[in-house]
Amino acid sequence: MATRRLELTPVLWTCWGEDWTARATPESVHRTVTADLDGGSTILLRDSDCTSAPGAWRSALGALPRILDTCTERRYEVGPLCDHG
């Protein structure tokens, strides 16, 4: 298995924004993410057009401030994946 050879740990997400579609908006991404958001969640968002509709990454970027606000309101800590244990 490649992950073992590279000494990587596979991580699965618990909620996503469906941000890869051409119809995604910052509002739809926020709504989709926060519907399943819980303490200890791992959120999957895309930051490129490599596997999504052209420009779709903008919906994820536009949703981030509201997602972070929701995390603050719910008293969730936000941090990098490497600290998510």
Q: Is the pLDDT of residue 84 over 80?
A: no
Spatial distance between the Cα atoms of 8 and 29, rounded to a whole number of angstroms: 28
Q: Pull the structure tokens for residue 26.
A: 């910052």
The DSSP secondary-structure symbol of 54 reads: T
Spatial distance between the Cα atoms of 40 and 58, rounded to a whole number of angstroms: 25
pLDDT at 43: 93
More confident residue, 8 or 74: 74
Q: Is the pLDDT of residue 80 over 80?
A: yes
Residues 6-55: tens digit of each pLDDT: 998 888 899 999 999 999 999 999 999 999 899 889 999 988 888 889 98
pLDDT at 5: 92
Q: Pull the structure tokens for residue 7.
A: 């000494």
Q: Is the pLDDT of residue 85 over 70?
A: no
**30 close to 63: Cβ distance less than 8 angstroms:** yes
